Amino acid sequence: MLQDLFRDLFALVQETAKAHPLWCFPIAAAIAFSESFVGISALIPGTVLLLTMGGVIEASNIPLLPAILGAFLGSMAGDWVCYVIGLKYHHQIIHLWPFRHFEAQIEKGFDFFRRWEIWAVFIGRFTGPFRSIVPLVAGMSEVRFWHFQLPNAAATAIWAVAILAFPGLIMRTFNSLSVWFGLA
């Protein structure tokens, strides 16, 4: 019964994606923005939604590029907003809940960002639970604008391609293996 529900839901999503392939752009942008914006990212499972979207795109045989562009731009927008908030309100943020409970760790984070600026931003994109906090801490650490934006753009481009293309790669690999082993 539950399996039928999921199969029907997947078929509905797949048919909708085929009928409206350009909707992948704004949907991916909204999901990636929520994944990159501190606070919202804890409420919305953006990574799971983007991975699922990549699988639906592969299964529907629709172009992946609009979703990649949407994820890239949405994530960049979320990161930029968090960076500006951190830059403008860094002294006030430290004293807000839940940050005030972690002042020592935040100070270590500031030291890390001051020392490794570009690499901290680049690598931070790939550290799941901390992904949305990195731009905020970069702003609070007063990382220079281009020392934030350039590595963030490079990492976000890699991240957007990887998170949306990975499910398709896995699906094609399993399909090839099942044909090779005579299971298809």
The number of C-alpha atoms within 13 Å of 179 and in the hemisphere containing its C-beta is: 5
Residues 148-178 pLDDT 10s: 999 999 999 999 999 999 988 888 887 787 7
Going by pLDDT thresholds of 50, 70 and 90, the confidence category of residue 79 is very high
CB contact at 8 A, 141 and 113: yes
Q: Measure the N-to-C terminal CA separation of the chain; round to a whole number of Å.
A: 25
Task: List strand residue ranges (DSSP E) for 35-168, in order.
Answer: none
| pTM assigned to the model | 0.86
Distance CA 147, CA 37 (A): 19
CB contact at 8 A, 79 and 171: no
Distance CA 93, CA 136 (A): 10
Residues 8-40 pLDDT 10s: 766 776 777 778 888 899 999 999 999 999 888
